[in-house]
Amino acid sequence: MRKLIGIASLLVILTGCEKDQGYSISGKAEGIENGKKIYISELTNLDQRPERVDSTTVKDGKFEADLADTESPNLSYLEVEGVNGMVLFISENENIDFTLYKDSLQASKKQGGKQNELLNEYLENLNSINKEVSDLRVEMRSAYQSQDSTKLETLQGTQTEIMDNDKVFKKQIIKENKDAFVSLMAIMDLLRMQGATTKELKEMYNSLNEEIKNTALGTKVGEQLESMTATEIGSKAPDFSALTPEGEKLALNDVLGKVTIVDFWASWCKPCRKENPNVVKVYNKYHEKGLNIIAVSLDKKEDKDKWLKAIEDDGLVWNHVSNLQAWNDPIAKKYGVRAIPATFILDENGVIVDRDVRGEEALDKKIEELLASAE
């Protein structure tokens, strides 16, 4: 955590003989041979592996390293030379003490400042929840096989209660720890498990202090929440443009109809290809009445031929664009797309009125309703 200037600095000057409380690690290396390297890595880019920032060496079953003070907490890892796995911790300007077990790095222990104590609490809860749910699913599978519907219903209710309690735990962590990196992790988990509305998640995120929000993970969470807000039902769909298969630039605003479907897909996506016949039938039925479609492919550059072949094989006669950047596609990021197929249905003004409507019957009904209301 950034050192404060003022009274705290004055105290350091007046008590200069006191030990520096900057960022350092130390600990025991159970079963790890002398001379083995301990690597310290930090997550500086969420799209890449952690970056090694320093290392130390095991001597007499122990290790230690003084590290450069960190400006803000961040996800960090310890790796042991020749041993599979990593030990997760949070870098902070405290001494963080570890006990590493060669035979089970996952069972390794750590203690240090507030950030890591809170991380321990969070991971203990996560492990407990995972074990409870895992045990429950074994029982649910048994109840299903024995066709015990009463027991199955009870177990499903128990699972829902466990997950609801977990959501409450995560929200409480965030509420009580505005300066904790773990609060960001909790928001990410709530987002993943759809444990709160976008509005609630944004309020939680905005309540955190700027130091935490400005970390790599904090920036990523902020971007995801912004994209989710931008593509909520009732929001104006973000405009975009990309190249067509013929190499011409085409924008969303160029193809808006009375009703428009923005369809994120890829040639390699089996669920997308399975859904395509349903979309073809609806498009053929309603295109002349005002339905347009623009499909955004998440294929890679080297798979352009597969993209074009899938368009032809599936009979997708509507508008197509792609940056051919797979999951790095800027349009997908703008729309917060993390899984495909993903569809957004827009009215004649480009406002999102529904999303992810699947199946011929459901899609037909929705498009018919929207076209009728547009007349």
- pLDDT tens-digit profile of 97-151? 999 999 989 899 999 889 999 999 999 999 999 999 999 999 999 999 999 999 9
Q: Tell me, what's the pLDDT at 47?
A: 67
Tokens of 339: 């899984």
Closest by Cα among 153, 371, 209 to 283: 371
pLDDT in tens, 329-352: 999 989 989 889 999 999 999 999
Decide if pLDDT at 67 tops 60. Answer: yes
Helix %, strand %, coil % for the chain, to 5?
45, 25, 30
Output 234 or 11, whichever has higher pLDDT.
Answer: 234
pTM here is 0.70
- At CA 365, angle to CA 364 and CA 369, rounded to 5? 115
- The tally of CA atoms less than 13 A away on the side-chain side of residue 179 is 7
DSSP per-residue codes, 138-188: HHHHHHHHTT-HHHHHHHHHHHHHHHHHHHHHHHHHHHH-TT-HHHHHHHH
Decide if pLDDT at 309 tops 90. Answer: yes
Q: Tell me, what's the pLDDT at 8?
A: 34
Which domains, ranges and CATH numbers included, belong to the chain?
7-107 (2.60.40.10), 116-230 (no CATH), 241-374 (3.40.30.10)
Decide if pLDDT at 327 tops 80. Answer: yes
Per-residue confidence at 12, pLDDT binned at 50, 70, 90? Answer: very low
Average pLDDT on 173-200 reads: 92
Q: Tell me, what's the pLDDT at 271?
A: 95
Q: Tell me, what's the pLDDT at 43?
A: 84
What is the rounded average pLDDT for all residues in the chain?
90
Decide if pLDDT at 3 tops 50. Answer: no
